Structure 1
Protein backbone atom coordinates (compact mmCIF):
# COMPACT_ATOMS: atom_id res chain seq x y z
CA UNK A 1 0.00 0.00 0.00
CA UNK A 2 1.18 3.51 -0.82
CA UNK A 3 2.05 5.61 2.19
CA UNK A 4 0.75 9.17 2.44
CA UNK A 5 3.61 11.71 2.22
CA UNK A 6 4.28 13.52 5.53
CA UNK A 7 3.71 16.91 3.90
CA UNK A 8 0.26 15.87 2.67
CA UNK A 9 -0.60 14.50 6.13
CA UNK A 10 0.44 17.81 7.67
CA UNK A 11 -1.78 19.74 5.24
CA UNK A 12 -4.74 17.43 5.89
CA UNK A 13 -4.42 17.71 9.66
CA UNK A 14 -3.95 21.47 9.39
CA UNK A 15 -7.20 21.78 7.41
CA UNK A 16 -9.03 19.64 9.96
CA UNK A 17 -7.74 21.79 12.81
CA UNK A 18 -8.74 24.98 10.97
CA UNK A 19 -12.26 23.69 10.22
CA UNK A 20 -12.70 22.49 13.82
CA UNK A 21 -11.61 25.90 15.13
CA UNK A 22 -14.05 27.64 12.77
CA UNK A 23 -16.88 25.41 14.03
CA UNK A 24 -16.04 25.84 17.74
CA UNK A 25 -15.26 29.58 17.71
CA UNK A 26 -18.92 30.82 17.67
CA UNK A 27 -19.63 28.70 20.77
CA UNK A 28 -16.50 30.04 22.45
CA UNK A 29 -17.50 33.61 21.58
CA UNK A 30 -20.98 33.04 23.00
CA UNK A 31 -19.56 31.80 26.32
CA UNK A 32 -17.00 34.58 26.79
CA UNK A 33 -19.55 37.22 25.77
CA UNK A 34 -21.83 36.02 28.55
CA UNK A 35 -19.14 37.11 31.04
CA UNK A 36 -18.48 40.52 29.47
CA UNK A 37 -20.03 43.75 30.71
CA UNK A 38 -21.79 46.24 28.42
CA UNK A 39 -18.61 48.23 27.74
CA UNK A 40 -16.71 45.11 26.57
CA UNK A 41 -19.42 43.29 24.67
CA UNK A 42 -18.48 44.81 21.27
CA UNK A 43 -14.72 44.62 21.74
CA UNK A 44 -12.62 42.04 19.89
CA UNK A 45 -11.02 40.74 23.07
CA UNK A 46 -10.85 36.93 23.16
CA UNK A 47 -11.10 36.97 26.95
CA UNK A 48 -13.31 39.11 29.22
CA UNK A 49 -11.12 41.78 30.78
CA UNK A 50 -13.41 42.15 33.79
CA UNK A 51 -15.45 38.91 34.10
CA UNK A 52 -18.89 39.36 35.63
CA UNK A 53 -21.84 37.18 36.57
CA UNK A 54 -24.28 40.07 36.19
CA UNK A 55 -25.54 38.83 32.81
CA UNK A 56 -26.52 35.48 34.31
CA UNK A 57 -28.14 37.18 37.32
CA UNK A 58 -30.13 39.46 35.03
CA UNK A 59 -31.19 36.55 32.79
CA UNK A 60 -32.41 34.47 35.74
CA UNK A 61 -34.20 37.52 37.17
CA UNK A 62 -35.99 38.59 33.99
CA UNK A 63 -37.20 35.14 32.88
CA UNK A 64 -38.05 31.83 34.60
CA UNK A 65 -35.13 29.97 33.05
CA UNK A 66 -35.46 26.79 35.14
CA UNK A 67 -39.19 26.49 34.39
CA UNK A 68 -38.64 27.15 30.68
CA UNK A 69 -35.74 24.68 30.63
CA UNK A 70 -38.05 22.01 32.06
CA UNK A 71 -40.68 22.96 29.45
CA UNK A 72 -38.13 22.47 26.67
CA UNK A 73 -37.04 19.15 28.14
CA UNK A 74 -40.62 17.92 28.47
CA UNK A 75 -41.53 19.12 24.97
CA UNK A 76 -38.51 17.44 23.35
CA UNK A 77 -38.97 14.20 25.29
CA UNK A 78 -42.68 13.90 24.46
CA UNK A 79 -42.16 14.77 20.79
CA UNK A 80 -39.40 12.19 20.48
CA UNK A 81 -41.45 9.49 22.27
CA UNK A 82 -44.55 10.10 20.13
CA UNK A 83 -42.58 10.25 16.88
CA UNK A 84 -40.67 7.05 17.63
CA UNK A 85 -43.84 5.19 18.63
CA UNK A 86 -45.85 6.23 15.56
CA UNK A 87 -42.88 5.71 13.24
CA UNK A 88 -42.28 2.18 14.55
CA UNK A 89 -45.91 1.15 14.17
CA UNK A 90 -46.39 2.73 10.73
CA UNK A 91 -43.12 1.39 9.30
CA UNK A 92 -43.82 -2.09 10.67
CA UNK A 93 -47.32 -2.10 9.16
CA UNK A 94 -45.98 -1.10 5.74
CA UNK A 95 -43.37 -3.87 5.80
CA UNK A 96 -45.32 -6.62 7.57
CA UNK A 97 -48.52 -6.67 5.52
CA UNK A 98 -49.30 -6.50 1.82
CA UNK A 99 -52.53 -4.63 1.07
CA UNK A 100 -54.15 -2.68 -1.74
CA UNK A 101 -53.01 0.93 -1.92
CA UNK A 102 -49.80 0.30 0.00
CA UNK A 103 -47.63 1.96 -2.65
CA UNK A 104 -49.98 4.96 -2.77
CA UNK A 105 -49.81 5.38 1.02
CA UNK A 106 -46.02 5.18 0.92
CA UNK A 107 -45.93 7.86 -1.80
CA UNK A 108 -48.20 10.11 0.28
CA UNK A 109 -45.91 9.73 3.28
CA UNK A 110 -42.94 10.63 1.11
CA UNK A 111 -44.72 13.71 -0.20
CA UNK A 112 -45.72 14.92 3.27
CA UNK A 113 -42.04 15.03 4.16
CA UNK A 114 -41.56 17.64 1.43
CA UNK A 115 -44.42 19.89 2.64
CA UNK A 116 -43.11 22.70 4.89
CA UNK A 117 -44.80 22.97 8.28
CA UNK A 118 -45.56 26.66 7.67
CA UNK A 119 -48.10 25.69 4.98
CA UNK A 120 -50.24 23.74 7.48
CA UNK A 121 -49.54 25.89 10.50
CA UNK A 122 -52.80 27.90 10.40
CA UNK A 123 -55.13 24.83 10.23
CA UNK A 124 -53.15 23.25 13.06
CA UNK A 125 -53.44 26.41 15.13
CA UNK A 126 -57.22 26.56 14.60
CA UNK A 127 -57.57 22.90 15.58
CA UNK A 128 -55.40 23.23 18.68
CA UNK A 129 -57.32 26.35 19.68
CA UNK A 130 -60.66 24.54 19.29
CA UNK A 131 -59.37 21.68 21.44
CA UNK A 132 -58.48 24.17 24.18
CA UNK A 133 -54.80 23.19 24.21
CA UNK A 134 -53.35 26.70 24.03
CA UNK A 135 -50.75 27.36 26.73
CA UNK A 136 -50.38 23.60 27.22
CA UNK A 137 -47.54 21.23 26.45
CA UNK A 138 -49.80 18.88 24.48
CA UNK A 139 -50.77 21.75 22.19
CA UNK A 140 -47.12 22.04 21.17
CA UNK A 141 -46.48 18.31 20.92
CA UNK A 142 -49.55 16.88 19.14
CA UNK A 143 -48.94 18.45 15.66
CA UNK A 144 -45.46 16.87 15.74
CA UNK A 145 -46.58 13.44 17.00
CA UNK A 146 -45.96 11.85 13.60
CA UNK A 147 -42.72 12.17 11.63
CA UNK A 148 -42.60 11.19 7.96
CA UNK A 149 -38.82 11.28 8.20
CA UNK A 150 -38.94 8.74 11.04
CA UNK A 151 -41.36 6.44 9.20
CA UNK A 152 -39.30 6.42 6.01
CA UNK A 153 -36.05 5.87 7.93
CA UNK A 154 -37.41 2.92 9.91
CA UNK A 155 -39.11 1.54 6.79
CA UNK A 156 -35.70 1.08 5.21
CA UNK A 157 -34.39 -0.65 8.35
CA UNK A 158 -37.40 -2.99 8.51
CA UNK A 159 -37.03 -3.78 4.82
CA UNK A 160 -33.49 -5.03 5.41
CA UNK A 161 -34.61 -7.29 8.31
CA UNK A 162 -34.85 -10.97 7.19
CA UNK A 163 -38.49 -11.66 6.44
CA UNK A 164 -37.91 -15.39 7.01
CA UNK A 165 -37.40 -14.73 10.72
CA UNK A 166 -40.66 -12.76 10.90
CA UNK A 167 -42.58 -15.56 9.19
CA UNK A 168 -40.99 -18.16 11.47
CA UNK A 169 -41.97 -16.22 14.57
CA UNK A 170 -45.51 -15.87 13.23
CA UNK A 171 -45.76 -19.62 12.63
CA UNK A 172 -44.58 -20.22 16.21
CA UNK A 173 -47.63 -18.30 17.40
CA UNK A 174 -46.00 -14.96 18.15
CA UNK A 175 -48.33 -11.98 17.82
CA UNK A 176 -47.48 -9.07 15.54
CA UNK A 177 -46.81 -6.83 18.54
CA UNK A 178 -44.59 -9.55 20.00
CA UNK A 179 -42.66 -9.85 16.73
CA UNK A 180 -42.08 -6.11 16.75
CA UNK A 181 -41.03 -5.80 20.40
CA UNK A 182 -39.24 -9.12 20.98
CA UNK A 183 -37.69 -9.89 17.60
CA UNK A 184 -37.19 -6.74 15.52
CA UNK A 185 -36.57 -3.98 18.07
CA UNK A 186 -33.66 -5.70 19.89
CA UNK A 187 -31.87 -6.06 16.55
CA UNK A 188 -32.27 -2.45 15.42
CA UNK A 189 -31.65 -0.69 18.74
CA UNK A 190 -28.75 1.34 17.33
CA UNK A 191 -30.92 2.60 14.47
CA UNK A 192 -33.73 3.61 16.85
CA UNK A 193 -31.26 5.31 19.21
CA UNK A 194 -29.71 7.25 16.33
CA UNK A 195 -33.12 8.34 15.03
CA UNK A 196 -34.25 9.30 18.54
CA UNK A 197 -31.21 11.55 19.03
CA UNK A 198 -31.91 13.43 15.79
CA UNK A 199 -35.59 13.80 16.72
CA UNK A 200 -34.70 15.10 20.19
CA UNK A 201 -32.28 17.72 18.85
CA UNK A 202 -34.80 18.88 16.22
CA UNK A 203 -37.53 19.12 18.88
CA UNK A 204 -35.26 21.05 21.24
CA UNK A 205 -34.60 23.67 18.56
CA UNK A 206 -38.30 24.11 17.66
CA UNK A 207 -39.25 27.80 17.84
CA UNK A 208 -42.03 29.02 15.56
CA UNK A 209 -44.85 26.70 16.62
CA UNK A 210 -44.29 27.03 20.41
CA UNK A 211 -44.23 30.81 19.94
CA UNK A 212 -47.74 30.69 18.44
CA UNK A 213 -49.19 28.36 21.07
CA UNK A 214 -47.73 29.91 24.22
CA UNK A 215 -48.21 33.52 25.29
CA UNK A 216 -47.21 33.21 28.95
CA UNK A 217 -43.49 33.00 29.65
CA UNK A 218 -43.83 30.23 32.24
CA UNK A 219 -45.55 27.93 29.70
CA UNK A 220 -43.06 28.48 26.88
CA UNK A 221 -39.83 26.58 26.09
CA UNK A 222 -36.51 28.26 26.65
CA UNK A 223 -36.01 29.20 22.99
CA UNK A 224 -38.99 31.58 23.22
CA UNK A 225 -37.54 33.29 26.27
CA UNK A 226 -34.36 34.19 24.40
CA UNK A 227 -36.37 36.65 22.30
CA UNK A 228 -37.00 38.63 25.49
CA UNK A 229 -33.51 40.14 25.31
CA UNK A 230 -33.83 41.33 21.70
CA UNK A 231 -36.12 44.24 20.88
CA UNK A 232 -36.18 47.33 18.72
CA UNK A 233 -34.89 49.68 21.40
CA UNK A 234 -32.20 47.97 23.43
CA UNK A 235 -30.53 44.63 22.78
CA UNK A 236 -29.24 42.96 25.96
CA UNK A 237 -26.51 41.00 24.21
CA UNK A 238 -24.67 39.96 27.37
CA UNK A 239 -27.81 38.57 29.00
CA UNK A 240 -28.84 36.98 25.70
CA UNK A 241 -25.50 35.18 25.50
CA UNK A 242 -25.88 34.05 29.13
CA UNK A 243 -29.38 32.66 28.55
CA UNK A 244 -28.28 31.03 25.28
CA UNK A 245 -25.35 29.38 27.05
CA UNK A 246 -27.76 27.92 29.62
CA UNK A 247 -30.05 26.68 26.84
CA UNK A 248 -27.13 24.88 25.17
CA UNK A 249 -26.10 23.00 28.33
CA UNK A 250 -28.63 20.11 28.03
CA UNK A 251 -27.64 19.42 24.43
CA UNK A 252 -23.95 19.65 25.41
CA UNK A 253 -24.48 17.14 28.23
CA UNK A 254 -26.39 14.90 25.83
CA UNK A 255 -23.49 15.06 23.38
CA UNK A 256 -20.86 14.32 26.03
CA UNK A 257 -22.90 11.33 27.27
CA UNK A 258 -23.83 9.89 23.87
CA UNK A 259 -20.98 11.16 21.71
CA UNK A 260 -20.47 8.00 19.69
CA UNK A 261 -24.20 7.47 19.11
CA UNK A 262 -24.71 11.10 18.02
CA UNK A 263 -21.89 10.91 15.48
CA UNK A 264 -23.30 7.62 14.23
CA UNK A 265 -26.79 9.13 13.94
CA UNK A 266 -25.62 11.93 11.64
CA UNK A 267 -23.54 9.50 9.59
CA UNK A 268 -26.49 7.10 9.34
CA UNK A 269 -29.29 9.53 8.52
CA UNK A 270 -27.50 12.73 7.49
CA UNK A 271 -28.33 16.25 8.71
CA UNK A 272 -31.94 17.17 7.99
Structure 2
Protein backbone atom coordinates (compact mmCIF):
# COMPACT_ATOMS: atom_id res chain seq x y z
CA UNK A 1 0.00 0.00 0.00
CA UNK A 2 1.44 3.37 -1.04
CA UNK A 3 1.57 6.39 1.24
CA UNK A 4 1.87 9.97 -0.01
CA UNK A 5 2.18 13.23 1.86
CA UNK A 6 0.76 15.69 -0.62
CA UNK A 7 1.53 19.36 0.02
CA UNK A 8 1.23 18.93 3.78
CA UNK A 9 1.35 22.10 5.92
CA UNK A 10 0.74 22.57 9.63
CA UNK A 11 0.35 26.01 11.22
CA UNK A 12 -0.10 26.34 14.99
CA UNK A 13 -0.45 29.65 16.84
CA UNK A 14 0.75 31.47 13.75
CA UNK A 15 3.89 29.36 13.46
CA UNK A 16 4.53 27.08 10.48
CA UNK A 17 5.68 23.68 11.74
CA UNK A 18 5.47 21.87 8.40
CA UNK A 19 5.56 23.69 5.06
CA UNK A 20 4.23 22.21 1.83
CA UNK A 21 5.72 18.77 2.46
CA UNK A 22 5.35 16.24 -0.36
CA UNK A 23 6.90 12.81 0.05
CA UNK A 24 6.16 9.38 -1.44
CA UNK A 25 6.55 6.11 0.43
CA UNK A 26 6.27 3.24 -2.03
CA UNK A 27 4.52 0.02 -1.17
CA UNK A 28 6.83 -2.10 1.00
CA UNK A 29 9.46 0.62 1.27
CA UNK A 30 11.11 1.88 4.44
CA UNK A 31 11.44 5.66 4.22
CA UNK A 32 13.17 7.65 6.94
CA UNK A 33 12.66 11.25 8.00
CA UNK A 34 15.74 12.94 9.44
CA UNK A 35 16.53 16.50 10.42
CA UNK A 36 17.53 18.72 13.33
CA UNK A 37 15.33 19.06 16.42
CA UNK A 38 12.24 21.09 15.65
CA UNK A 39 12.37 20.47 11.91
CA UNK A 40 8.80 19.11 11.74
CA UNK A 41 9.43 15.37 11.61
CA UNK A 42 7.12 14.31 14.46
CA UNK A 43 4.48 16.82 13.39
CA UNK A 44 4.37 15.28 9.92
CA UNK A 45 3.97 11.80 11.42
CA UNK A 46 1.08 12.97 13.62
CA UNK A 47 -0.80 13.92 10.46
CA UNK A 48 -0.30 10.41 9.09
CA UNK A 49 -1.72 8.63 12.12
CA UNK A 50 -4.45 11.30 12.46
CA UNK A 51 -3.46 12.72 15.83
CA UNK A 52 -3.23 16.08 14.07
CA UNK A 53 -5.22 17.60 11.24
CA UNK A 54 -3.03 19.36 8.65
CA UNK A 55 -3.75 23.01 7.95
CA UNK A 56 -3.56 22.19 4.25
CA UNK A 57 -2.56 19.30 2.07
CA UNK A 58 -3.55 15.66 2.17
CA UNK A 59 -2.30 12.32 3.41
CA UNK A 60 -3.13 9.75 0.74
CA UNK A 61 -3.20 5.96 0.96
CA UNK A 62 -3.21 4.29 -2.44
CA UNK A 63 -4.36 7.63 -3.81
CA UNK A 64 -7.29 8.00 -1.39
CA UNK A 65 -7.61 10.78 1.17
CA UNK A 66 -6.92 9.14 4.54
CA UNK A 67 -9.16 11.63 6.35
CA UNK A 68 -12.18 10.26 4.48
CA UNK A 69 -11.79 6.85 6.08
CA UNK A 70 -13.59 6.08 9.32
CA UNK A 71 -11.40 6.12 12.42
CA UNK A 72 -11.79 2.35 12.72
CA UNK A 73 -10.80 1.72 9.12
CA UNK A 74 -7.89 4.15 9.40
CA UNK A 75 -6.60 2.24 12.46
CA UNK A 76 -6.81 -0.99 10.50
CA UNK A 77 -4.63 0.49 7.76
CA UNK A 78 -2.14 2.62 9.74
CA UNK A 79 -0.44 1.65 13.01
CA UNK A 80 1.80 4.04 14.92
CA UNK A 81 4.43 3.91 17.61
CA UNK A 82 4.81 7.40 18.99
CA UNK A 83 7.84 9.03 20.56
CA UNK A 84 6.56 9.25 24.12
CA UNK A 85 4.73 5.92 24.18
CA UNK A 86 2.98 6.81 27.42
CA UNK A 87 1.59 3.83 29.34
CA UNK A 88 -0.16 5.07 32.46
CA UNK A 89 -2.19 2.00 33.45
CA UNK A 90 -0.37 -1.03 34.78
CA UNK A 91 -1.71 -3.55 32.30
CA UNK A 92 0.32 -6.66 31.71
CA UNK A 93 2.47 -6.84 28.60
CA UNK A 94 0.16 -9.38 26.97
CA UNK A 95 -2.87 -7.16 27.70
CA UNK A 96 -1.21 -4.13 26.11
CA UNK A 97 -0.26 -6.09 23.00
CA UNK A 98 -3.79 -7.49 22.69
CA UNK A 99 -5.07 -3.90 22.49
CA UNK A 100 -3.61 -3.84 18.99
CA UNK A 101 -6.58 -5.94 17.88
CA UNK A 102 -9.09 -3.30 19.02
CA UNK A 103 -9.72 -1.83 15.51
CA UNK A 104 -10.74 -5.31 14.34
CA UNK A 105 -13.09 -6.18 17.22
CA UNK A 106 -16.64 -5.18 18.13
CA UNK A 107 -17.59 -4.33 21.70
CA UNK A 108 -16.21 -6.80 24.23
CA UNK A 109 -15.53 -9.45 21.61
CA UNK A 110 -12.89 -11.91 22.81
CA UNK A 111 -9.73 -12.62 20.85
CA UNK A 112 -9.93 -15.58 18.54
CA UNK A 113 -7.38 -18.37 18.65
CA UNK A 114 -5.69 -16.88 15.58
CA UNK A 115 -5.47 -13.48 17.27
CA UNK A 116 -3.96 -14.96 20.44
CA UNK A 117 -1.36 -16.71 18.29
CA UNK A 118 -0.71 -13.43 16.48
CA UNK A 119 0.05 -11.77 19.83
CA UNK A 120 2.36 -14.60 20.82
CA UNK A 121 4.28 -14.37 17.52
CA UNK A 122 4.68 -10.62 17.97
CA UNK A 123 6.12 -11.16 21.45
CA UNK A 124 8.54 -13.73 20.04
CA UNK A 125 9.63 -11.38 17.24
CA UNK A 126 10.36 -8.59 19.73
CA UNK A 127 11.99 -10.91 22.30
CA UNK A 128 9.46 -10.09 25.03
CA UNK A 129 7.58 -13.38 25.54
CA UNK A 130 9.27 -13.72 28.96
CA UNK A 131 7.68 -10.40 29.98
CA UNK A 132 4.10 -11.42 29.10
CA UNK A 133 2.76 -11.41 32.68
CA UNK A 134 4.78 -8.40 33.85
CA UNK A 135 3.07 -5.06 34.43
CA UNK A 136 4.22 -2.52 31.83
CA UNK A 137 4.97 0.07 34.52
CA UNK A 138 7.68 -2.23 35.88
CA UNK A 139 9.54 -2.37 32.54
CA UNK A 140 12.57 -0.44 31.39
CA UNK A 141 12.23 2.17 28.66
CA UNK A 142 13.64 -0.19 26.04
CA UNK A 143 11.32 -3.02 27.05
CA UNK A 144 8.32 -0.70 26.79
CA UNK A 145 9.38 0.36 23.28
CA UNK A 146 9.41 -3.26 22.18
CA UNK A 147 5.98 -3.85 23.74
CA UNK A 148 4.55 -0.87 21.85
CA UNK A 149 5.99 -2.08 18.56
CA UNK A 150 4.52 -5.53 19.17
CA UNK A 151 1.13 -3.89 19.76
CA UNK A 152 1.46 -2.00 16.47
CA UNK A 153 2.37 -5.16 14.55
CA UNK A 154 -0.62 -6.99 16.03
CA UNK A 155 -2.87 -4.41 14.35
CA UNK A 156 -1.80 -6.03 11.05
CA UNK A 157 -1.50 -2.64 9.35
CA UNK A 158 -0.45 -2.04 5.78
CA UNK A 159 1.39 1.11 6.87
CA UNK A 160 3.58 1.45 9.95
CA UNK A 161 4.54 4.88 11.33
CA UNK A 162 7.35 5.02 13.89
CA UNK A 163 8.72 8.01 15.78
CA UNK A 164 12.20 7.33 17.14
CA UNK A 165 11.62 3.58 17.59
CA UNK A 166 15.22 2.91 18.71
CA UNK A 167 15.04 5.26 21.73
CA UNK A 168 16.15 3.45 24.91
CA UNK A 169 17.09 0.28 23.02
CA UNK A 170 20.46 -1.36 23.45
CA UNK A 171 22.55 -1.99 20.33
CA UNK A 172 21.36 -5.55 19.83
CA UNK A 173 17.69 -4.61 19.92
CA UNK A 174 18.25 -1.55 17.70
CA UNK A 175 19.74 -3.78 15.02
CA UNK A 176 17.04 -6.44 15.42
CA UNK A 177 14.23 -3.88 15.28
CA UNK A 178 15.51 -2.23 12.11
CA UNK A 179 16.14 -5.62 10.53
CA UNK A 180 12.54 -6.55 11.37
CA UNK A 181 11.30 -3.41 9.61
CA UNK A 182 13.34 -4.17 6.50
CA UNK A 183 11.91 -7.67 6.32
CA UNK A 184 8.32 -6.90 7.31
CA UNK A 185 6.98 -6.14 3.83
CA UNK A 186 5.07 -3.21 5.33
CA UNK A 187 5.12 0.35 4.07
CA UNK A 188 7.12 2.13 6.77
CA UNK A 189 7.64 5.83 7.53
CA UNK A 190 10.10 6.25 10.39
CA UNK A 191 11.75 9.19 12.14
CA UNK A 192 15.35 8.52 13.15
CA UNK A 193 17.98 10.77 14.70
CA UNK A 194 20.88 8.43 14.08
CA UNK A 195 21.91 9.01 10.46
CA UNK A 196 23.97 5.82 10.34
CA UNK A 197 20.97 3.74 11.41
CA UNK A 198 18.85 5.56 8.83
CA UNK A 199 21.40 4.76 6.12
CA UNK A 200 21.35 1.07 7.08
CA UNK A 201 17.60 0.65 7.52
CA UNK A 202 15.97 2.90 4.92
CA UNK A 203 15.38 2.52 1.19
CA UNK A 204 14.98 6.28 0.92
CA UNK A 205 15.53 9.24 3.25
CA UNK A 206 13.80 12.62 3.41
CA UNK A 207 15.68 15.48 5.08
CA UNK A 208 13.66 18.19 6.82
CA UNK A 209 14.76 21.62 8.01
CA UNK A 210 12.44 24.33 9.36
CA UNK A 211 9.44 22.29 8.27
CA UNK A 212 10.54 22.04 4.64
CA UNK A 213 11.84 19.09 2.68
CA UNK A 214 15.45 19.82 1.77
CA UNK A 215 15.96 16.70 -0.33
CA UNK A 216 14.87 13.09 -0.65
CA UNK A 217 16.53 10.09 -2.21
CA UNK A 218 18.55 6.99 -1.48
CA UNK A 219 20.96 7.11 1.47
CA UNK A 220 23.85 7.40 -0.99
CA UNK A 221 22.22 10.38 -2.72
CA UNK A 222 21.18 12.18 0.46
CA UNK A 223 23.88 11.62 3.06
CA UNK A 224 26.70 13.69 1.63
CA UNK A 225 29.32 15.59 3.58
CA UNK A 226 28.01 18.93 2.27
CA UNK A 227 24.40 18.18 3.23
CA UNK A 228 25.30 16.99 6.73
CA UNK A 229 27.29 20.17 7.31
CA UNK A 230 24.63 22.44 5.81
CA UNK A 231 21.61 20.91 7.59
CA UNK A 232 23.09 19.59 10.85
CA UNK A 233 26.02 21.97 11.27
CA UNK A 234 28.64 19.26 11.77
CA UNK A 235 31.61 18.02 9.80
CA UNK A 236 31.58 14.37 8.79
CA UNK A 237 33.39 12.02 6.47
CA UNK A 238 31.26 9.55 4.52
CA UNK A 239 32.65 6.03 4.22
CA UNK A 240 31.19 2.75 2.99
CA UNK A 241 30.25 0.09 5.49
CA UNK A 242 32.76 -2.75 4.99
CA UNK A 243 30.05 -5.44 4.95
CA UNK A 244 26.96 -3.81 3.43
CA UNK A 245 28.36 -0.89 1.45
CA UNK A 246 25.86 1.46 3.09
CA UNK A 247 27.14 5.02 3.63
CA UNK A 248 28.27 5.66 7.18
CA UNK A 249 29.26 8.97 8.77
CA UNK A 250 32.38 9.57 10.84
CA UNK A 251 31.94 12.79 12.76
CA UNK A 252 34.61 15.27 13.69
CA UNK A 253 34.51 16.63 17.23
CA UNK A 254 36.83 19.49 16.26
CA UNK A 255 34.66 22.42 15.03
CA UNK A 256 37.66 23.96 13.26
CA UNK A 257 37.89 21.08 10.79
TM-score of Structure 1 vs Structure 2, range by shorter chain: under 0.3
Higher helix share: 1
Larger relative contact order, structure 1 or 2 (CA cutoff 8 Å, min sep 6): 1
Q: Which has the larger radius of gyration?
A: 1
Specify which structure has the higher proportion of strand.
2
Normalising by structure 1, what TM-score?
0.26
State the TM-score, normalizing by the size of structure 2.
0.27
